[in-house]
Amino acid sequence: MPFRYGQPHIPAPGERRYAPAAMKVEGAGALISGGASGLGEATARRFHDAGAAVVIADLNAEKGEALASELGERATFVAANVLEAEQVQAAVDAAAALEGGLRISVCCAGIGWAQRTSSRRGPHDLEAFSNVVKVNLIGTFNVLRLAATAMSANEADAEGERGVCVNTASIAAFDGQIGQVAYAASKGGIVGLTLPAARDLAGRGIRVVTIAPGLFDTPLLAALPQEAREELGAGIPFPSRLGAPAEYAQLAQQIVENPMLNGEIIRLDGALRMPPK
């Protein structure tokens, strides 16, 4: 019976429904840049618990080595600055050399900066703006381009898939607040490259998806007083609390395991739309 638009397909007696093959985290090699703390740490922990071999790439060697040591077997730390091609390549090579090969890349590395475009103190610091864009946008692309190239050498699975690259933007890309011009621009760039990168890599069987988190309980907010943290959480429609890094990690795994998620930006924010300030 031919399928017609608007009509559900009813399988004939004995006909099997199509069940697409999903990439499995278990047995895969995963590169987590910015993986020593915050969202990256939670992702490294979840993927490792799910059976992946993880390479934790980060500037903070003390935290990265401690996390790899805690996770134990199937966890490796590689010191890497996302702006340094040779260092990122070394991390990619370490992941590609794993038994399952490099199948998953999650980029969580990033920095923030708060300054208005112009104020009584003068214009926005140009070097600071450039540095935020370099780390957040160019660093993300550096990881993406090198990880995707390594994934291209993988044997395709039954669905023709060779790998998944997950990037991290922010709702600031859409709702940038006063003083977030540099941060919002850098995260907006990640949003903008997602679809063309997915289209670039489609022929190689590599998916690209970006997560745009809202307010999460990360080291960036940990420095705030508890009262201020609770006030921020109360402004989120539902659930009225800060997001947990484990919830970011959960979505990252779901992206890996759902083959139709590609070229998309997913807001993870409890329906929050940031006010001007």
What region does 176 belong to: left with phi over 0, alpha with psi -120 to 50, or beta? beta
Tokens of 188: 């907006």
Find residue 210's DSSP bridge partners.
Answer: 167, 265
Q: Is 183 annotated in the active site?
A: yes
Q: What is the mean pLDDT of residues 157-180?
A: 96
Whether the pLDDT of residue 19 is over 80: the answer is no
Indicate which residue of 5, 18, 183, 248 is catalytic: 183
Q: How confident is the model at residue 217 (pLDDT cuts 50, 70, 90)?
A: very high
Beta strands 265-268 and 122-123: pairing type?
A: unpaired
**Distance between CA atoms of 267 and 170, rounded to whole angstroms?**
8
What percentage of the chain reaches a pLDDT higher than 90?
84
Tokens of 123: 């214009």
pLDDT of residue 22: 74
User: How many Cα neighbours within 13 Å face the side chain of 120?
Assistant: 0
**Average pLDDT over the chain, rounded to an integer:** 93
**Residue 107 to residues 48, 155, 166, 190, 265, Cα–Cα distance (Å):** 16, 23, 6, 11, 14
Residues 100-146: pLDDT tens digits? Answer: 899 999 999 999 999 999 999 999 999 999 999 999 999 999 999 99
Whether the pLDDT of residue 2 is over 60: the answer is no
pLDDT of residue 232: 87
pLDDT of residue 15: 57
Domains of the chain and any CATH numbers: 29-268 (3.40.50.720)
pLDDT of residue 5: 46
Query: pTM value?
Result: 0.91
Whether the pLDDT of residue 99 is over 90: the answer is no
Tokens of 128: 């600071």
Whether the pLDDT of residue 1 is over 50: the answer is no
Q: How confident is the model at residue 23 (pLDDT cuts 50, 70, 90)?
A: confident
Whether the pLDDT of residue 58 is over 80: the answer is yes
Whether the pLDDT of residue 25 is over 70: the answer is yes
The residue with greater pLDDT, 79 or 227, is: 79
Which stretch of 48-62, 175-189, 210-224, 254-268 has the lowest confidence by average pLDDT?
Answer: 210-224
